[in-house]
Structure 1
Amino acid sequence: MNKSQLVEAIALDANITRVEARKAIDALIRTTVQTLREGDRLSLTGLGTFCVQLKAERVGRNPRTGAAVKIPSRKVIKFRPTAEIE
């Protein structure tokens, strides 16, 4: 399912227009990104939890040459689904 299909499904389920559904989804995405940028976690009951995790620096290999390459540390978004989806 892509974003436009999600908008359509929410509009039908909530009995609202597609424009209203798109605004709601856009607001959800903006709020989620803002929350994660601030370092907080976002828990959605029945779906799961989003959080930011720091991936440590590591050494990788260039697939062409086999030479060692240093991969810097970085922040990644981690999602842990709810144990039981209804």
Structure 2
Amino acid sequence: MNKQELVAAMADKSGLSKVDSEKFVKAFEEATKEALGNGESIQLIGFGTFSVTERSARTGRNPQTGKEIQIAAKKVVKFKAGKALDETVN
């Protein structure tokens, strides 16, 4: 499902217009980016939790040459599915 399909599905389920649904999706994206950028986590009970974790530096290999390379440490976004979402998927 792409963004436009998500907006259409949300409009159908909520009874809102597609314009209002698109505004909601954009607002959710911005609020999520801002919170995660500040190191906060976002917990949606029953759905899941978005959080930021630190990935440490490590040594990797270039698959084409086999040469060892250093991979820098960085922050990554992590999503852990909630119980209700997990049960729906499984």
TM range (shorter): over 0.9
Q: What does residue range 3-82 of structure 1 map to in structure 2 within 5 Å?
A: 3-82=3-82
Helix, strand or coil: the match of 1:84? helix
CA distance in 2, matches of 1:14, 1:7: 10
* 1:83 matched residue in structure 2: 83
Q: CA deviation at 1:84?
A: 3.3
Please provide the CA RMSD for this pair. Answer: 1.0
Q: Residue in 2 aligned with 1:2? A: 2
Q: Percent identical across equivalent pairs? A: 36
Deviation at 1:66, TM superposition (A): 1.1
Query: Counterpart of 1:60 in 2: which secondary structure?
Result: strand
After the TM superposition, which parts of structure 1 deviate over 3 Å for at least 4 consecutive aligned residues?
A: none
Consecutive unaligned residues in structure 2, runs of 5 or more: none
State the alpha-carbon separation in 2 of the partners of residues 10 and 67 from structure 1: 48
Q: What is the TM-score when the length of structure 1 is the normalising length?
A: 0.94
SS of aligned partner of 2:83:
coil
One-letter amino acid of the counterpart of residue 58, structure 2 = R
Structure 1's unaligned 5+ residue stretches are none
TM-score, normalised relative to structure 2:
0.90
Q: Which structure features the higher share of helix residues?
A: 2
Q: How many residues are matched?
A: 86
